[in-house]
Structure 1
Amino acid sequence: MTNGSILVLVVLACVYPFVLMLSTSVSDGAAAASGQIYLWPKGLNIETYKYILNNPRLGVASGMMNSLFYTVVGGLVAVTVTYMTAYSLSKKRLKGRNVIMMLFLFTWVFEAGIVPNYIIYHALGLVNSRLVMILPTAISTFLLIITKSFLDSLPGELEEAAFIDGANDWTIMWKVFFPVSKPIIATIAIFNAVLIWNQFLIPMIYLQDSKLQPITVVLYNLIINSSKGGTSFENIVVNGVQLLPQNLQAAAIFLAILPILFIYPFTQKYFTQGMLLGSIKG
């Protein structure tokens, strides 16, 4: 078997669960219950998506909107803060920059734990606040190191020429370095988008208000935690189409992964380029 054949098999093995999930979500419940769905949908319809998105009791629509808000706002904050910090630390004239970098590395290696974090977040007023999904992930030490390495690799003549023209640090950062940093910006953005969108433990602990919970916690309550008396899917008939929990669960899960599946192909080239450039200095 050739390497190409092996890669094709690996791709099919990775793609098949998503295709099966999509087919199950748009199939008639009777076909799903009888095990007739292997690849293509049976009794094609979109009633499952209409039902879960228009049913406020389930909270799927509000969970999706919350996740989108956290991802977009948190991503913008993370890109801005991470880039500004990395730019400052990349300048040799910044006094104490090595000490500051060591402090970042220390927090990366040693974590306080859930209980101390909860005490700090509670004291800062982040419990049951949307900010708990944005501020703690504003700077990732891993991404900070990659961004700093990328900025270190840029020619110093860019800054020198800008200084001669009378530009200050703020102007140089945003008008000289930022426009040529698209690969690393895309890397920060996609990393944080995936991190925030898939975040489960933080909202599970700190966001007890159901109106603030992202789609990950909503799915947990609907699919895993329903046995404890929470909200769950039921057998229903909508517009003559039978919908079973299998259909509704598949539709909810597919909605949760769809945004990441949609944006990643468009940012992959920048993501790969940013990782390579950020890992090589000089």
Structure 2
Amino acid sequence: MVEDRTWGNRIFGAVNMLLLTLIALVTLLPFIHVLAGSLTTAAEMSAKKFILFPTTISLDAYAYIFSTNTILRAMLISIGVTVGGTFISMFLSSLMAYGLSRRDLDGRRTIMFMVVFTMLFNGGMIPTFLVVKELGLIDNYMALILPVAINAFNLIILRSFFQNLPEGLEESAKIDGCNDFGILFRIVLPLSMPALATISLFYAVTYWNTYIHAILYLNDSTMYPMQVVLRQIVILATGMSNESGAFDADYIAPPEQTIKMAVIVVATVPILLVYPFLQKYFAKGALLGSIKG
């Protein structure tokens, strides 16, 4: 009987491995297709509908995208907004989450109700724009950060994680003369690295992909982040816009589909490079932060 169970476990494990491998390949194929399509030639792109391994490597699409310093400037802007916005969001979210995790805080339930309420209802685009305008943040990079500085979902996960920490640690710190800020920055945050890494990744992806806020609050095209500039490149490549001043008028653009794939690669790869460094924290932080609320 033990031997039968052992063989059954082996067969079950082999089937699981096969299915998971197939699912991983199906998930990975679109990324390979996009990368290969961005590196192929115009003739091959026209001849084939689905490309995984280009026969001839061509960098024409990337040469078109990087034909001026516009994309480099936009990438630096996106990196600055992402890094600065993530730092501000984590600082504010950590302070608020820690305060709401304290059971001795008066009005804690009322504040949490207002936080959860914003997940269901919000002021909308026009009221938010009016607030940003009255604050004098038009054509200011802070307009891309402050309206989304604290995300209610991320705040709830972080608060739940803080609540799961042993209360004895805070009590011991108070006995040693540590104040609330000392407890937060010296004890709570160092013990919350999985949650902090996970929430930081959530915020970083949000800021990296910022688009609609840049369209609404930035009138100066030289301040556009990468997502907006990449969209303009696609529009120029498809001939839908006459605003071609940012690119060489004598430059022959590669096929539209190749440019679209190259744009996807340029917009996706930088943020994907962050995942390997945070992968070991990601699942643990998301799960532990959702055990109880």
Q: TM-score, structure 2 length as denominator?
A: 0.85
Could you say which residue in structure 1 is the equivalent of 2:82?
71
Name whichever of 213-222 and 70-79 sits farther off. Answer: 213-222
In the alignment, which residue of structure 2 is the partner of 1:42?
Answer: 55
Pairing of 1:103-252 with structure 2 (within 5 A):
103-224=114-235, 227-231=240-244, 236=251, 243-252=254-263
Is 1:11 the equivalent of 2:29? no
1:105–1:141 CA contact under 8 A, matched in 2: yes
Code of the residue aligned with 1:206 in structure 2: it is: Y
Partner residue in 1 for 2:9: none
Across the aligned residues of Structure 1 and Structure 2, the Cα RMSD in angstroms comes to: 2.6
**What's the CA shift for 1:45?**
4.3
Q: What's the offset of the Cα at 1:87? A: 0.6
1:141: how far off? Answer: 0.8
Matches of 1:249 and 1:220 in 2, distance apart? 9
Residue segments in structure 1 that go unaligned for 5+ positions in a row: none
Distance 2:39 2:191 in 1: 44
Q: Which amino acid aligns with 2:116?
A: L
TM-score, normalised via structure 1 length:
0.88
**Where do 5+ consecutive residues of structure 2 fail to align?**
1-13
Q: Deviations over 1:79-111 (max 9, x none)?
A: 111011101111123222222222222222211
Q: Distance in 2 between matches of 1:265 and 1:223?
A: 29
Deviation at 1:37, TM superposition (A): 6.6
CA separation in 2, counterparts of 1:49 and 1:261? 19
Q: Cα offset for 1:29?
A: 3.0
> Does the Cα contact within 8 Å between 2:234 and 2:259 map onto a contact in 1?
no
**1:25 equivalent among 29, 32, 38:** 38
Output the CA distance in 2 between the equivalents of 1:128 and 1:10.
45
CA deviation profile, 1:171-201 (whole Å, cap 9, x unmatched): 1110011110001101110111111112222
Q: Aligned AA for 2:187? A: V
1:60 is aligned to 71
Shift of 1:209: 1.6
**Per-residue deviation at 1:158?**
0.4
The match for 1:262 is 273
How many angstroms does 1:229 deviate by?
Answer: 2.7
User: Counterparts of 1:36 and 1:92 in 2: how far apart (Å)?
Assistant: 60
Q: Does the Cα contact within 8 Å between 2:77 and 2:226 map onto a contact in 1? A: yes
SS in 1 for 2:53: coil
Q: Is the 8 A contact 1:87 1:148 kept in 2?
A: yes
Q: Whose Rg is larger?
A: 2
8 A Cα contact 1:184 1:278, kept in partner: yes
- CA distance in structure 1 between the aligned counterparts of 2:49 and 2:121, rounded to whole angstroms: 51
Q: Equivalent residue for 2:6?
A: none
1:71 Cα offset (Å)? 1.0
The residue identity in structure 2 corresponding to 1:98 is: R
Q: Secondary structure at the match of 1:76?
A: helix
Rate the CA distance shift 1:5–1:208 in 2: closer, same or farther, 3 A: farther
- On the 8 A contact 1:236/1:244 being kept in 2, the answer is no
After superposition, give the CA deviation of every residue in 1:245-277 in whole Å (9 maximum; x if it has no partner).
Answer: 443332222010001221123212211101111
Q: Give the Cα separation in 2 of the matches to 1:164 and 1:235.
A: 73
**Which amino acid in 2 is paired with 1:210?**
S
